[in-house]
Every structure is written in C-alpha cells, then in structure tokens.
Amino acid sequence: MSNTRAGSVGIVLLVAGNLLGGGCSKPPGGEAPSDAAQASKAVRPPNASSSEGTKAMLTIKSNAFSPNGAIPAKYTCQGGDSSPPLAWSGVPAGTQSLALIVDDPDAPDPAAPKRVWVHWVVFNLPPTVTELPEGLKELPAGAKSGLNDWQRTGYGGPCPPVGRHRYFHKLYALDVVLPDLGKPSKGDLERAMKGHVLEKTELIGTYQKN
C-alpha cells in the first residue's frame, strides 16, 4: 500500500472514531459546556449573588425609649428637660457630615395639628461621631447648633399642651460639610442640605403630659 493510500485510510478511521464517541466527546453524565457558559463562568465575580442586600442601612436608636414608645418624663418639660441619649450606625461611605433635627408634627393638638414644632437643630456633626450622650452639654468638636422654636439653641424637650404627640428624631448623612450658617432655623438647614443628603433615618418617640 502506498503512503498516500495509507494516509487516507488513517484519516477515515480517525473521523469514524470521533463520530462513534471517541476523541473530544461530551463528559460522562452531561452535555459539554458551551463556549457561552464557559465565558459566563469566567467573568462572574466571586460571591456576586451572596453579596446583594448586605449593605448596612443608616439607623438611629435610643436606649431610653423604643421606636414609637413613650419618652420618659426626664427628657421633657415635666422633668429635667435634658436631651435623650441617641446612637446611630450604618453611616454610608462618602459621608462628610451629619445633621440632626427633632420636631413634633402634632402641635398644638394631634386631633387638629396646625404646625410642626422644632425641638432641636444640629449640623456638621463629624461622621466619626456615633452617639450623643444623655443630657448633652456641649456638642462634639466641629458640630454646630441651630435655633429651635423657642428661638434658642440646644435641646428643648417635649411639652405638649394636649394629647399624645409624636417626636421625630431625624438623622441625615450629607456628602458635604456645610458652610457657617450662623444659627439656622430648621428651614434654613433643610435648604442648605438640599441635594446633599446621602441617606436619612428617623426614630419616633411619643409623649403626653400627666
């Protein structure tokens, strides 16, 4: 047999072997992965699906009262009128400062509210600060105080004339340190924060005079 004929026979046998299951056959028990599947596996980031939904959310709490719970009298005009302890976590990346507003949307009567009464305005809290202690006397370095609706700086406790009021403790994470606003009202601060709020959270407490 000539070399040419022998080579042709060899090629025929090789092709037949591939068709019958030899050579690059599918793996036992399943289809060979397609090129698209291999590419998808190669580019998928590790643990992509398990990382979803794990981002910490900004939250604020107090160990003096539970969410929607009654605020103890010591933090009101019927007690020492001292500020309650507040703590927060989950400050988002990129936060440059924090702001705090405490107000009451039920004034003067929750059955017929006519205005929102502002109890506390604080801004430019450093993002490294994670709490304000009970009976705060001095703000952390860099933080500033605005005016409440008694036209004074600092905290003014709940003092509802009638009914049980809600008190919203609202914390804002901002992407800037605000300029010197002097002693801003709540409205002044909200206008300065516009477009800079990364995240907001709130804690509600209630109070009714005895």
Residue ranges covered by each domain of the chain? 59-207
Amino acid (one-letter) located at 99: A
What is each CA distance from 43 to 35, 48, 81, in whole angstroms? 13, 11, 59
> How do residues 121-148 score in pLDDT, each as one tens digit?
999 999 999 999 999 999 999 999 999 9
Q: Collapsing DSSP states into helix, strand and coil, what is residue 178?
A: coil
Task: Classify domain 59-207 at the CATH topology level.
Answer: Phosphatidylethanolamine-binding Protein (3.90.280)
pTM for this prediction: 0.74
Q: What angle do CA 58, 59, 65 make, to 5 degrees?
A: 170
> How do residues 82-107 score in pLDDT, each as one tens digit?
999 999 999 999 999 999 999 999 99
Question: DSSP state, 147?
Answer: B
Q: What angle do CA 63, 100, 56 make, to 5 degrees?
A: 65
Q: Give residue for tokens 């008190």.
A: 167
